[in-house]
Structures are given as C-alpha cells and as structure tokens.
C-alpha cells in the first residue's frame, strides 16, 4: 500500500513540474502584452533575466524606454523581475521597478509594472 501511494505522489509531483515548465519558458524573444500604459513592448526573457523596450506616453510626450532586470518564478505561471527602467534621449528616467510577467503555454499573456 505504501509503495502504491509513493508511486502516485511521485507521478503527481512530476505532472505538476511538467505543467510549470510548460508555462514559463527557458527563453522567449518577441512581443509582450501592453499593460495599458506602456505600448509596443518587445524584449527577451532568458529564464533568469528580462530585457524590454517599450513606449510610454504622458502629458510631456511619447518616450522610448527600456527595462533590464533579474527574474525568479513566483508561481507556476508568473515571474517577477526586479530591475531598472531607463529613458532614452532627453527622457531622464532611471528608476527601480518590478515587472511581473504571467505566462501561458510558453508565451507572455500579461505584463505588469510596479515600483
């Protein structure tokens, strides 16, 4: 009986690990969903780092910005990446931020920025 129970636990554990691996990719490069404030988000996720470029529009104009940070999985479908948002050209932004990416089947389905 114990042997059967251990076998079931092992199979369930491997199934959960397979699902987690299926959602968060080891590498992704391409488009990320807009959060409603930032648009045209593109970048690369390597499993441990995230680099993004995006457009931010406010009352002073439209600015091209970037984010670079290190990531860790916070669940089977989300990664939290801590890093810095920087502006380009005359946009003098250099601020710490956390970008949370929600993944589905190896692709980003939501992107959220916070400080």
In this predicted structure, what is the pLDDT of residue 101? 98
Strands, sheet with 107-114, edge to edge from the N-terminal-most edge strand? 28-31, 38-45, 49-58, 61-73, 78-87, 94-104, 107-114
> How many CB atoms sit inside 10 A of residue 102's CB?
16
Q: How far is CA 25 from CA 43, 100, 106, in A?
A: 14, 14, 5
In this predicted structure, what is the pLDDT of residue 28? 98
In this predicted structure, what is the pLDDT of residue 3? 54
In this predicted structure, what is the pLDDT of residue 69? 98
pLDDT by position in tens, the chain (length 115): 555 544 444 444 434 444 444 699 999 999 999 999 999 999 999 999 999 999 998 888 899 999 999 999 999 999 999 999 999 877 889 999 999 999 999 999 999 999 7
Distance between CA atoms of residues 74 and 20, nearest Å:
11
């Amino acid at each position: 009986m114990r042997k059967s129970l251990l076998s079931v636990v092992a199979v369930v554990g491997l199934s959960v690990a397979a699902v987690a691996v299926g959602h968060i990719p080891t590498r992704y490069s391409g488009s990320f969903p807009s959060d409603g404030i930032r648009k045209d988000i593109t970048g690369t996720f390597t499993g441990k780092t995230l680099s993004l470029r995006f457009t931010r529009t406010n009352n002073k104009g439209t600015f091209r910005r970037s984010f670079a940070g290190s990531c860790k999985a916070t669940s089977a479908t989300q990664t939290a990446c801590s890093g810095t948002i920087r502006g380009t050209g005359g946009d003098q932004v250099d601020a710490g931020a956390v970008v949370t990416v929600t993944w589905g089947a190896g692709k980003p389905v939501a992107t959220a920025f916070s400080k």
